[in-house]
Structure 1
Amino acid sequence: MASSIQKFVAASGVSAFFRTYSPGHVDIKQEIVVARYPRSQPGSIARRPTSTPTRPERPTPAGSMSWLAVFKRASVVVPYPRISSPAASAASAASAASHLRRGFARVHSHTMANRDPTTLSNYSAWRTKHTTVDFHLDFDQKLLRGTATLQLESQTDKDSAEVVLDTRFLNVKAVHVDSSESKWELKPHTNPLGAPLHVSIPGGAAEGHLVNVAIDLETTAKGTALQWLTPAQTSNKKHPYMFSQCQAINARAIFPCQDTPDVKSTFSFKLTSSLPVVASGVPVGDHTPSVGAEKTYAFEQKVPIPTYLFAVASGDIVAARIGARSVVVTGPNELDDCKWELERDMDKFMHVAERLIFPYKWGEYNVLVLPPSFPYG
């Protein structure tokens, strides 16, 4: 099965995927790209044009310069005297580096809370290092039910006695801190940011100390992150389908989190469903597709990602390899056409991107093609 879904990108066709993720786009991540199945004719897939227009160079406004040019012209004043001895010079450099690190740490700690106005979390005081989700997908009630566990690192020296997390239309059942029941309060909901979840950490924690906050929860029908499709909205019209859309601030409608791109964490997934599952991580264990029988699918995402790249999809889906590090996942009716569309170019695309930028570190680059009723594009 597929090993990664980290970002759903609405596109009018697969050819748009190649334009969007051309080598000129330097923000290369392990993305799962969702392209609405092109239907120029019933049951057919749009063919790529024989040539792609080149992107014109972006002109530089008159009188302006790049940030690199500004940096090169900047006059850097070092508040340390000239030192002739090599040993003393090395000590001075180490001292300067230490001062710089402390300075950046102070700026980081005291200003980050105001940097992102779209989160209600206190991520300047606590920072998520790892996220574990263990969810059951209930297609009958159209909800996820389970536990999300956040491993949080204290950024202060016992200055914060609570963790504040983003939520939106979640039914929170219980909260545990380091396996013990904890006091918590879900504040009133306000649009568009949701309801902050306040979790008590009595006495706070020393800087660098880790705490594990586990939240038992259910999603609700008001949630803005999950799309539940009926069988009639799929290609073969046999089974329901669910997919997530967390961008830009909708991850908080799946689980309490620090829903900001300023915070990245690794992820572990356990997702139990009666239909095959793909998620934003590398598959772990047996992923043989099982339609109709409950099965738990596990994934690991070892590269830290922001919450908006959390993603999951479940339905009557099958996979085919389209490259050395890539598979395409889609409905059974579309698999052959989608494989034909992508397999000739995927390895070339990866090779060019790595040659121009840096080695691809997410392991696999996979593509999910959603049903024709995907409401974007």
Structure 2
Amino acid sequence: MFRALTAAAAALLLASCQAHEAAPSAGAAEVAPVLDTPDAVDIHSYARPLEARVTHLALDLAVDFDSKRVGGTATLDIQAKPDAKEIILDDKGLEIESVADGAGKPLAWKVGANDPNLGAPLSIAIGPDTKQIVVHYKSAANADALQWLTPEQTAGKKHPFLFSQGESILNRSWIPTQDSPGIRQSWEAKVSVDKPLTVVMSAPRAADPTESGNARTFSFRMDHPVAPYLIAIGAGDLVFRDLGRRTGVWTEPAMLDRAAAELGDTEKMVDAAEKLYGPYQWGRYDMLVLPPSFPFGGMENPTLTFLTPTFIAGDKSLTSLIAHELAHSWSGNLATNATWADFWLNEGMTTYAERRIVEAVYGPKVAAQQVSLGLDAMNKAVAENGGPTGPDTRLHIDLKGRHPDDGLTDIAYEKGAAFLRTIEVAVGRDRFDEWLKGWFERHKFQPVTSSMFLADIREHLIKGDQALEARLQLDKWVGDPGVPGNIAPADPKAFAEVDAAVTAFKAGNQPAADAWARWTTDERLRFLNRIDKKQSADRMSALDQAFNLSRSGNSEIRFAFLDLAVKNRFDPAVPALEDFLTVQGRRKFVKPLIVGLAEDEQWGRPIAARIYAKTRASYHPVTTRDLDKLQLGKQ
């Protein structure tokens, strides 16, 4: 049971936040409040924002590919209680050179004890007149958020590449600020890089690039307050192509045609999302297609979604990824989980919204199939996280003493989406759409918690209807493990033909070639994910030879088959497995395959050790953090 925040209390809370007194470098029109409730205390940040907080961040940095560092200054506009003696930032390995106030007066500072997950507190002494802090620094050695690629690791093979991944608590390794999603900050940046490289960031350009000697300097400004994990950078040999009146794609020249073709429906998706959830608040919606070592499918950095190239299948069959990242422009970026315990408020809402966008653009059958696949993924996640009584199957998750990425499972995504869909079915789509659009409007550019969600839905949707309250089981969905019995089921007709083929396969029949050719990617995935996990070598060979699964150009299908290959010790697939783990570093694919191999001590672990020794250097720290725990170097 949650201590739900009443609407009146929430209003008083927001009203109690002091107005921002703009310091010289600031120009943001708004400052988001910091929530003063127990469930909004961020255990993954050292910051004490109710005493002193960052409101605006200005970066002036240079990118150095030789030393693999970014360095320069971070100027922080701060807001503090009159009696505050210090402000505490988050730091993970930053090389601090000096700290001063806005007038250049040195400020005392110290770095506290280091925690392997959280890094260390950076405490800076302030006085009642301190409105600005200037930190001279360099990013950490081997900064967790940054990946530096050699020219050989890029598509063009001519120039190096840098990109960042800040979620969940990685940006503290290259930016000195309060790295908590509940402490939203506006920001700006000037970043210099050697010619002919281009810098892009998750904010609109503030000016045209300037040149001096061998350097080019790019300027950016985000006037809306955002969660710090959404500050992102990319630098490399980049070109741009418009996709619509407010959408476009950045990528390496060698990737541009393929990426632009795959992303051709993006403008339609933005239009569909606006009809569902209200105006798009961020100006442009551009995307950056990165080299294949990017650890996620996509990252919803405002104005510039970062994307893995593994979504490029040549037929737009994996572009629900774009719908997902776009939906984050409302759920996650506009209304953001105040702490990582409520990650579902970002991802569950987004997954629900993704399928509504897919339905609007591609039709109800595609959406119904993706709902069904999502429920399969949810059930699998429940089984993998302790079953129906496992504490990590709750939406509001306890992450005390753990890294927030431990909550990055399909519970947040798929149980969260199933919860919202269950409400939609119970109250009717029109009524639920009205509430959800209102939720985003009432909480735009704000941190939110599960308590706020429950209070808002009770005030604006349930409105005292006790029968509806009992039917929805809101507290059970959010706070209890497992999946409540009132879950809205999938459409049984969504995969009728495929499910019949699964049954026939179990009886010894091979899927018909004409049926496989006709099936969509989702239908093929349903088949591969539903057949028995234990298969004979002959059956595995027959599947692979009939449909070329181990070398499929569709990364999701290739992964599904290779996952089966690992489970069945299928030796003929090992070369394809090694190739797949070498050419991309997406955590969704790499982690289960390496872990699956490593868990098989006799057959798989030596294969995992050999592959990981070769590929680890090409993976992002997000991917290697968990895999290093397998100790594959110790055989």
Taking structure 2 as the reference length, the TM-score comes to: 0.41
Secondary structure of 1:337's partner?
helix
* CA displacement at 1:188 relative to structure 2: 2.5
Distance 1:318 1:192 in 2: 36
The 5 Å alignment of 1:164-243 reads 164-179=88-103, 180-202=105-127, 204=128, 211-243=131-163
**What is aligned with 1:327?**
248
Contact 1:113/1:122 (8 A) holds in 2: no
CA distance 1:176–1:236, change in 2 (3 Å): same
The 5 Å alignment of 1:47-66 reads none
**What is aligned with 2:575?**
none
Distance 2:52 2:68 in 1: 32
CA distance 1:357–1:173, change in 2 (3 Å): same
Distance 1:229 1:129 in 2: 33
* CA displacement at 1:228 relative to structure 2: 0.3
- The reply to whether residue 134 of structure 1 matches residue 54 of structure 2 is no
Q: Percent identity?
A: 34
Unaligned runs of 5+ in 2: 18-32, 295-584, 589-635
More displaced 10-residue stretch of structure 1: 187-196 or 296-305: 187-196
- Amino acid of the structure 1 residue aligned with 2:232: A
- Amino acid of the structure 2 residue aligned with 1:257: T
Distance 2:155 2:11 in 1: 57
Decide which of 204, 217, 221 is 1:282's aligned counterpart. Answer: 204
Contact 2:162/2:234 (8 A) holds in 1: yes
Distance 1:336 1:149 in 2: 39
Contact 2:34/2:49 (8 A) holds in 1: no
**Bigger strand share:** 1
Distance 1:260 1:287 in 2: 31
Distance 2:52 2:39 in 1: 10
Deviant stretches of 4+, over 2 Å: 97-114, 372-375
CA distance 1:102–1:121, change in 2 (3 Å): closer
- Amino acid of the structure 1 residue aligned with 2:199: V
Distance 2:162 2:10 in 1: 51
Deviations 1:99-132 (A, max 9, x none): 9627974996764697110001111212221110
* CA displacement at 1:373 relative to structure 2: 3.3
Deviations 1:253-279 (A, max 9, x none): 112111111111111110100110000
Unaligned runs of 5+ in 1: 1-63, 77-96
Decide which of 281, 284, 291 is 1:371's aligned counterpart. Answer: 291
Contact 1:113/1:124 (8 A) holds in 2: no
Contact 2:53/2:87 (8 A) holds in 1: no
| RMSD between aligned residues | 3.0
CA distance 1:230–1:260, change in 2 (3 Å): same
- The reply to whether residue 337 of structure 1 matches residue 268 of structure 2 is no
Secondary structure of 2:169's partner?
coil
Deviations 1:135-185 (A, max 9, x none): 10000110001001111112x3x2321001100010000001222211111
Secondary structure of 2:275's partner?
helix
Distance 1:193 1:261 in 2: 14
Count of matched residue positions in the alignment of Structure 1 and Structure 2: 277
CA distance 1:323–1:196, change in 2 (3 Å): same
Decide which of 306, 310, 325 is 2:227's aligned counterpart. Answer: 306
Distance 1:338 1:259 in 2: 32
Taking structure 1 as the reference length, the TM-score comes to: 0.68
* CA displacement at 1:190 relative to structure 2: 1.8
